[in-house]
Structure 1
Amino acid sequence: MASYLILTPPGATSRSEVSDRYRDGTRFIRDGFSWKAFLFPTLWMLFHRLWLYAIATFLLQGIALELMRQPGFFAAGAALLLGVHILAALEGPHALGNRLVGRGWKVSNLVSAHDLATAEEIHFSQLEQEPNLDIHPKNWDIPAQNTNTSRPGPSFGLPGYDGGR
């Protein structure tokens, strides 16, 4: 099941206003692997106006192709090219969400659904049922205390989960 980050356009002040006025402007960004970004990373980033990422991708692809032409560096060039494509496919949607948030879009919701139509149905039905619901973590009652006194912090040296990505 995929998760969808739901962003509302700048200027929406309340969730009821979002449901009435900005229903058509709401963006659903699927958090996961993007085949379009994998196959055409530079074009995908240009289409989504990720200018600096597109320039970096274009330059890295050029370096990788030049490495592939040099004797003895084909494997290194192919690995770099594949790495650029995989990185664009995995992190491209996240970069798009960050760009929109940086431009004033508000994170409205995070929905797990099998497809986009189901995510839209879940999100807009929640808005109609509970228009004044605040989803920000400051209002959640989540105990965040670590009861393990012998080894405070995350286990196995892994970073802890703080509710972010």
Structure 2
Amino acid sequence: MATFLVLIPPGARSQDERARIVRDRFSWLALFLPVIWLLWHRAWIAAALAFAVQALGSAVSDHPVFGLAGLGLFLATNLLVALEGPSMVAAGLERRGWTVDAVISAGDRETAEDIYYTESPAGGAETRGSVSLPASETSQRRHAPMLGLVGFKEGR
């Protein structure tokens, strides 16, 4: 089962035909061709940044002492785009005003489209209104970031 994010354009209603379905998974194509993959998905800034980091890695890999570090930088960029590429695409759409309308678990894209367009929002698709947020985002109390450690300023 894969997870699909359904994003709708600004001002659109749920189950709009212009909705964009993004599969949130590892991408083999992005592992081997990260810049081309990002350009294909219109993530221009991320593609430029990936190209610059890969160029730096290539330049450093020619150095006799730092050769392995350059290769590691090159491979780390490829792996990062392969793992986080779909999230970068979804974040880019959200910056342009698109909203996440549903999160669907399905075997393939066609099944995800069937679930999204045929079932009611309370059915198989988890709509934005019913997505449960972490307690830190819904709490009235705000505290400083703690890098995953428990905060004791709240009287515990």
Coarse TM-score class (shorter-chain normalised):
0.7 to 0.9
After superposition, the CA RMSD in angstroms is: 2.8
Number of residue pairs matched by the alignment:
137
The answer to whether the aligner puts 1:68 opposite 2:61 as a matched pair is yes
Question: What SS does structure 1 have at the residue aligned with 2:100?
Answer: strand
For structure 2, the residue ranges without an aligned partner over 5 or more in a row are: 136-147, 151-156
Letter in 1 for 2:40: F
TM-score by length of 1: 0.71
The answer to whether the aligner puts 1:49 opposite 2:45 as a matched pair is no
- Within a 5 Å distance, the mapping from 1:16-95 to structure 2 comes to 19=15, 22-23=16-17, 25-95=18-88
Counterpart contact for 2:6–2:19, Cα < 8 Å: yes
2:149, 2:130 → 1: CA distance? 22
Residues 7-62 of structure 1 show CA distances to partners (whole Å, capped at 9, x for unaligned) of 112221x43xxx3xx32x21111111112221111111122222221111111101
1:66, 1:104 → 2: CA distance? 38
For structure 1, the residue ranges without an aligned partner over 5 or more in a row are: 145-156, 160-165
1:90, 1:129 → 2: CA distance? 30
Moved over 4 A (4+): none
2:70, 2:10 → 1: CA distance? 42
Higher RCO structure, 1 or 2 (CA under 8 Å, sep 6+): 1
Match of residue 144 from structure 2: none
Gap change, CA 1:101 and 1:71, over 3 Å in 2: same
More helix by share: 1
Residue identity (%): 38
Match of residue 9 from structure 1: 9
